Amino acid sequence: MKNKKSYAIITVVIIVLIVVIAGLGIATYIRNNQPAEETADAAGQRNQSRTATAVRVTPVRRDTIENSVIINGDVLAVNQVSIVPVAAGKITRTFFQVGDSVRQGDTVAMIDPSRPGQVYSESPVISTISGTVLSIPVTTGDTVTTSTPIYIIGDLSRLMVETYVPERFSNIARRGLTAQVFLEALPGEIFQAAVEELSPVLDPASRTLRIRLRFTGAQDARIKAGMFATVSLVTNTRRDVPVIPRGAVINTYGHWIVFTVDEQNTASRRELSLGLENEELIEVVDGLEEGELVVSQGQNFLSDGDLVRVVD
């Protein structure tokens, strides 16, 4: 009986092995004789399993880049003086209003220098410059001294911007340094200017350096003294250097990197050395060549070697 049982078990095992070997042979035959088109489709499906990330790209180009500091200032008349009397006394008459034009040598007011019990002839107050009355700090009947401003008169044919540079940028400021001026009253417009005058010392209270800028080009009649100005003062300029959008650069553990895209739409991680930067661009000192495509949007989701899909 035992021999019969052993023989039956061995027979079953042999049959199972034959079936398994036959199945493997049939599978191998089918795979080897599968049409080439089906094999290519299967390969394509496997490749599509790697999802391509949608990105925007920008080529590395050569351009001029400027570094600047943003400060606030005021528009003033280039020539602005205070008119004071030559004698102390009481103001009896004024002859001009704010906004009136005055010529050098005009009498702008009269002063009565007499005291109780004394009688003197009125003393005229003479304008020392030609210009426009900007303000009148006193009124008729006020008692003034020889240091009291009666009129503030300015030559509005030439305007300037006065501003104060923080101490850390004081060594950069120099005559001829260019700047862009933005005015609250004229939004969206840019006016070119240059440093014409700077103080030789810093203000000890604010630790700032006073500078004055002249508008370059023709005077714009819409600009008026007293306007609030925002000044973008150029502190450094590099010309004809490789630049990329500032937003394309990523800081990773103290290293600056970007992702480039090749002809196979594959992203490559690149480490850079950077130079000057401003609000829009950044200079590439080393790590990229002109014309290479840099990922400018979507780079935060990439890894080295990822497939990408470039969109407009």
Query: What's this model's pTM, rounded to 2 decimal places?
Result: 0.58
Find the CATH number of the domain harbouring 291: 2.40.420.20
Question: What are the b/e assignments for 194-226, b being 16+ CB within 10 Å?
Answer: ebbebeeebeeeeebbbbbbebeeeeeeebebe
| Separation CA 215–CA 221 (nearest Å) | 12
Q: 175 and 228 in one domain?
A: yes
Q: 253 and 198 in one domain?
A: no
Q: 182 and 226 in one domain?
A: yes
| Separation CA 308–CA 52 (nearest Å) | 5
Is pLDDT of 14 > 80?
no
Q: What is the pLDDT of residue 37?
A: 47
Between residues 236 and 108, the one the model is more confident about: 108
Q: Which two tokens stand for residue 62?
A: 């050569």
Residue 80 lies in a domain: no
* Strand 53-59 relative to strand 308-310, pairing: parallel
Confidence band for 44, pLDDT divided at 50, 70 and 90: very low
Residue 110 lies in a domain: yes
Q: 257 and 226 in one domain?
A: no
| Separation CA 220–CA 223 (nearest Å) | 6
Q: What percent of the chain has pLDDT over 90?
A: 60
Q: 226 and 173 in one domain?
A: yes
Q: What is the pLDDT of residue 28?
A: 64
Q: What is the pLDDT of residue 80?
A: 87
| Separation CA 236–CA 69 (nearest Å) | 10
Q: What percent of the chain has pLDDT over 70?
A: 85
Q: What is the pLDDT of residue 245?
A: 94
Question: How many structural domains are present in the chain?
Answer: 4
Lowest average pLDDT, out of 142-151, 263-272, 276-285, 286-295, goes to: 276-285
Between residues 66 and 192, the one the model is more confident about: 192
Confidence band for 40, pLDDT divided at 50, 70 and 90: very low
Q: 234 and 160 in one domain?
A: yes
Q: What is the pLDDT of residue 51?
A: 84
Find the CATH number of the domain harbouring 139: 2.40.50.100
Average pLDDT over residues 152-172: 90
Q: What is the pLDDT of residue 42?
A: 47
| Separation CA 174–CA 194 (nearest Å) | 10
Residue with tokens 């840019």: 190
pLDDT tens figures, 61-100: 999 998 888 999 999 988 889 999 999 999 999 999 998 9
Q: Which of 103, 126, 149 is the last residue of a domain?
A: 149
Is pLDDT of 3 > 90?
no
Q: 216 and 191 in one domain?
A: yes
CA 124 to chain centre: 53
| DSSP for the chain, written as a single string | -HHHHHHHHHHHHHHHHHHHHHHHHHHHHHHHTS-HHHHHHHHHHHHHTSPPEEEEEEE-EEEEEEEEEEEEEEEEEEEEEEE--SS-EEEEEE---TT-EE-TT-EEEEEE---TT-----EEEE-SS-EEEEE----TT-EE-TTS--EEEEEEEEEEEEEEEEGGGTTT--TT-EEEEEETTSTT--EEEEEEEE-SS-BTTTTEEEEEEEEPSSPPTT--TT-EEEEEEEEEEEEEEEEEEGGG-EEETTEEEEEEE-TT-BEEEEEEEEEEE-SSEEEEEES--TT-EEEEESGGG--TT-BEEE--
Q: 278 and 222 in one domain?
A: no
Domain extent at residue 27:
2-48
Query: Is the CB of residue 161 less than 8 Å from the CB of residue 180?
Result: no
Residue 202 lies in a domain: yes
Residue with tokens 């002249």: 214
| Separation CA 86–CA 262 (nearest Å) | 81
Q: 161 and 142 in one domain?
A: no
Q: What is the pLDDT of residue 256?
A: 93
Is pLDDT of 266 > 90?
yes
| Separation CA 99–CA 133 (nearest Å) | 5
Residue 219 lies in a domain: yes
Find the CATH number of the domain harbouring 195: 2.40.30.170
Q: 181 and 227 in one domain?
A: yes
Q: 229 and 186 in one domain?
A: yes
Residue 103 lies in a domain: yes
Lowest average pLDDT, out of 18-32, 107-121, 208-222, 229-243, goes to: 18-32
Q: 245 and 305 in one domain?
A: yes
Q: What is the pLDDT of residue 120?
A: 80
Q: Which of 181, 203, 238 is the last residue of a domain?
A: 238
Q: What is the pLDDT of residue 144?
A: 94
